Amino acid sequence: MLRSNTTLTSLDLSDNNIGANGAKQIMEGLRYNSTLTKLYFKNNKIGDNAGAYISTMIKDNKCLQYLDISENNLQTNAGILVSLSLESNSTLKYLNLAHNQMLEASNNSDSNIKRCHQALQNIFQRNKTMTNLELEGNCLLENIAKEINSSLARNLMLGGTRKKKKKLFSLLFDD
């Protein structure tokens, strides 16, 4: 249904306890969808394994501009996969990964945390279209957040959009 959709431009599936298997089906349907521009997929208990499905959809989808996958218990593996997929995506402008405890030490190995930090830092080396990235609630290190913020600010200037730095920092730092 989602693959052949020609009219739906926004879809809110938040708070539906969809799980990893449901996420797989939905992300498969969205891989080649050419009309949906906004997907709200917050708080669906999809877990870290769903990161592979999300990243494949991000790589292949050429229409989606807004994606909210916050509060889904995505860990470092999902963070790495999603970050890598963003390097080749040229349509997604807003991504909400907030409150996934992605970099929390009790849930992840030190080596995976380092790899995820590095992947998050590298997003903007190739992706020049992303203008909003929400990462609060993920135990992001301050120096990494500052580097991401700087890269994000460059993208905003390239896109002709000007936002106050304070707003950018509020997206990235845990309060």
> Over 70: is that where the pLDDT of 171 sits?
no
Band of the pLDDT at 144, cuts 50, 70, 90? confident
Domains of the chain and any CATH numbers? 10-172 (3.80.10.10)
* pLDDT for res 72: 97
Q: Using an 8 Å Cβ cutoff, are 9 and 34 in contact? A: no
* pLDDT for res 31: 95
Rounded distance between C-alpha atoms, residue 80 and residue 108, angstroms: 12
Predicted model pTM: 0.87
Percent of the chain past pLDDT 70, that is, above it, reads 89
Q: Of 74-88, 114-128, 154-168, which one has max mean pLDDT?
A: 74-88
Beta strands, E only, 27-174: 38-40, 66-68, 94-96, 132-134
* Gyration radius (Cα) of the chain, Å: 15
Tokens representing residue 61 in the block = 């989808």
Count CB atoms within 10 A of the CB of residue 64: 22
